[in-house]
Chains A and B, each alone.
Chain A
Amino acid sequence: RKEVEQDPGPFNVPEGATVAFNCTYSNSASQSFFWYRQDCRKEPKLLMSVYSSGNEDGRFTAQLNRASQYISLLIRDSKLSDSATYLCVVLIGGFKTIFGAGTRLFVKA
C-alpha cells in the first residue's frame, strides 16, 4: 500500500463547478499536510497547508481528518486556470516528506 494515495482522475468539470479531491495516508505519525499544485512540466507550487481545524483560502478549502487519516481539498467556482495536477503531501517525523502521485483536474469552458 502506498503511504499517500490519491485518485489519479482525471476530473473533468465545467467552469463554475465545485470539485473535491481526497487523499489518504497510512502513517499515523504524519504531522504536517499540504496541497501543492503542479502545471504540466512545471515545478510543484504550494497551494495551502492543511490544519487540523481546516482552512480556507478564497475558493479553496482544505480539511484534515486524523482519525480516518485523510485530507481533502475543495475547489469552488472552478476556473479554467485551475486546470492542473493537485498533489497531496505528508510530512512525517519532521523530515520525511511523501508526495502523492497527484490528481489531474481539467476545467472546461
Chain B
Amino acid sequence: DADVTQTPRNRITKTGKRIMLECSQTKGHDRMYWYRQDPGLGLRLIYYSFDVKDINKGEISDGYSVSRQAQAKFSLSLESAIPNQTALYFCATSDGPTYEQYFGPGTRLTVT
C-alpha cells in the first residue's frame, strides 16, 4: 500500500462549487503539505502543517483552506472553485532530521 494517498485522483467540478481534497499518510510523519502544480511553474506551496495544532499559509493560500484532522490526515478545501484553480494538486509529508518530502500520487482537478 502507498504511504501517502490522495482522494479523489481526478475531479471535474463547476465554478462556485465547494470541493475537498483529502490526504492520508502511514509514514508517521508530523509535517504535511499541500502543493499545486501548473505547467511551467513548478510546485507552489498552498499550506503546510507541522503538527495537528499548527497550520501555516504557503505562498498561494488565497481561495484555499485546510484542516488537519489527525497526524495522518490533512485535507484541502476550495470554498468556491474558480477555473484558474484547475491544476494538479499534491500532498506531501516529511520528518526530521533531513525533511525529505514524500508525495502522494496527486489529484487532477478541473474547474469548468
Cβ-neighbour of B100 out of A41, A49, A95, A100 (below 8 A): A49
B70 interface residue per 8 A CB criterion: no
A16 interface residue per 8 A CB criterion: no
Please state if B99 and A46 are interface contacts (CB–CB under 8 Å). no
Category for how many chain A residues contact B = 20 to 34
Please state if B99 and A44 are interface contacts (CB–CB under 8 Å). no
**B54-112 with Cβ < 8 A to chain A:** 88, 90, 94, 98-106, 108
- Residues of the B chain whose Cβ atoms lie less than 8 Å from the Cβ of A49: 98, 100
Cβ-neighbour of B40 out of A95, A97, A101 (below 8 A): A101
Please state if A32 and B42 are interface contacts (CB–CB under 8 Å). no
Nearest chain A CB to B48's CB is how many angstroms away? 8
A94–B104 Cα distance when bound, in Å, is: 21
Please state if A46 and B101 are interface contacts (CB–CB under 8 Å). yes
How many residues of B are counted as interface, with CB atoms below 8 angstroms from the partner's CB atoms? 22
Please state if A32 and B99 are interface contacts (CB–CB under 8 Å). yes
Shortest Cβ distance from A2 into B: residue: B42
Please state if A99 and B42 are interface contacts (CB–CB under 8 Å). yes
**A5-37 with Cβ < 8 A to chain B:** 8, 32, 34
**A79-109 with Cβ < 8 A to chain B:** 87, 89, 91, 94-95, 97, 99-102
B12 interface residue per 8 A CB criterion: no
Nearest chain A CB to B98's CB is how many angstroms away? 6
**A45-60 with Cβ < 8 A to chain B:** 45-46, 49
A-B contact pairs, 26 of them (CB 8 A): A34-B100, A41-B88, A42-B105, A42-B106, A43-B103, A43-B104, A43-B105, A44-B43, A44-B90, A44-B101, A44-B103, A45-B103, A46-B100, A49-B98, A49-B100, A87-B42, A87-B43, A89-B101, A95-B48, A95-B50, A97-B101, A99-B35, A100-B42, A101-B40, A101-B41, A102-B42
